[in-house]
Amino acid sequence: MSMPDVGAAAPAFSLPDQDGNTVSLADFAGKWVVLYFYPKDDTPGCTKEACSFRDRHAELQAKGAVVLGVSGDSSASHRKFADKYSLPFPLLADTEHEVARAYGAWGTKKMYGKEYEGMIRSTVVIDPAGKVVKTWPKVKPDGHGDEVLAWLEANAK
């Protein structure tokens, strides 16, 4: 499945965060939502990406944006990851990969010549009306928070 088209309604979701609280897309109506999908807590690339969002969090909030990280890890794993790196935003546990599938972030990957199903590092920006306005289908973890912030500064009016 591919990422939602720009201009399409963002697929609704409800998932538990690192504290076991249910977080729904509807909770953020009227705000910009940066929904980023990453493969695994506390791995090198995922840590770089999460920390880039952490380091730009105040600026992203100042643009009216909420950051939500999504992986297949459990809420308990997310809690350890968030504590270790002082992550100030919710990490959502998509253990059945339903939300990742809805957003085109779950699919076939290759490593060392082997194919397997897994989380595809990608990001979707949802506008205050609930529409998909920007997608990054293949994200490089270094400086992604800067990249998203720059896009919001240019486009979030």
Catalytic positions, please? Answer: 46
CA nearest 26: which of 40, 39, 11, 36?
A: 11
CB atoms within 10 A of CB 16: 18
Cβ neighbours of residue 51 under 8 Å, at least 6 residues apart?
Answer: 85, 87
- Which amino acid, one-letter code, is at 151? W
Cα(144)–Cα(52) distance, integer angstroms? 6
